Amino acid sequence: MSVTLFQIWRHPIKGIGVEALDTVGLKVDRPLPLDRAWAVLEEGGEATEGWRPCRNFLRGAKGPALMAVTARVEEEMVHLSHPNRPDLAINPDAAEAALPLFDWLAPIYPKDRRPAAALVKAPGIGLADANFASVSILNCASLCALSRKLGRNLDPRRFRGNLWLEGLAPWEEFDLVGKRLRIGVAELELVEPISRCRATEASPETGCRDTATLQALEDGWGHTRFGAYAMVRRGGKIGVGDRVLIV
């Protein structure tokens, strides 16, 4: 069976909103364009330049309701939606964007967590959990295997991935670490598996924790990894349905 690119997703504001794409242009040593391009720093977080660990930011592991936020980018504006909030549109690069965003987030973020303090722009390598310019590769067959283990179909948005591949064997993505994938003219090298957090336990529809994904991974396979980080080694445009070659 051939391997194809099944889905493309990006997350303009780290931990706050997911957006489906049909096509995207990849650049060498850069994340997916506009993926984790901004983040909301929590009070007391590291107010420094450059990449910072995820513990500094608002995210779904701390506030599961954030997992139900969807995003849409139109020119300089990011449009956010949530089932329990009115829609919001902001220009994250504008100085006046932070306050409306923080007001919008406050009712859906736990009161016992540190509140939003600043809306920050990512460095060139992005603000993914990996400290390098990563593109996350996920495997549809692994999602099916985990879904069977749990007895329910899991929404891929739980895993906040960039590129979902169809046609691999379950967990084959781990065997591909150190190898390259060619999608169109673009090439990505798989670097390391992704360790997962409690964000995956929350439903992207409701924002409520409803599934013990981490326990299922541990019980079924002896780890809590899902997907792999990759780096772009050759740039180019890719699209849903493209054939994926292992090179």
Q: pLDDT tens digits, residue range 127-141?
A: 999 999 999 999 999
Residues 241 and 167 in one domain: yes
Residues 43 and 26 in one domain: no
Segments in 162-223 forming alpha helices (H): 172-175, 213-221
pLDDT at 27 over 90: yes
- For 176-198, the pLDDT digits (tens) are 999 999 999 999 999 999 999 99
Average pLDDT over residues 119-128: 97
Q: CB–CB of 172/246 below 8 Å?
A: no
Q: Which of 77, 99, 121 is the last residue of a domain?
A: 121
Q: How far apart are CA 205 and CA 174, in angstroms?
A: 29
Within 8 A by CB and 6+ apart from 36, the residues are 11, 12, 13, 14, 122, 126, 127, 128
First to last CA, the chain: 16
As beta bridge partners, residue 187 has 182, 234
- Domain span at 179: 3-31+130-246
Average pLDDT over residues 15-43: 98
What does pTM read for this prediction? 0.97
Count up the domains in the chain and report the number.
2
Q: How far apart are CA 166 and CA 243, in angstroms?
A: 10
Residue 119's pLDDT band (cuts 50, 70, 90): very high
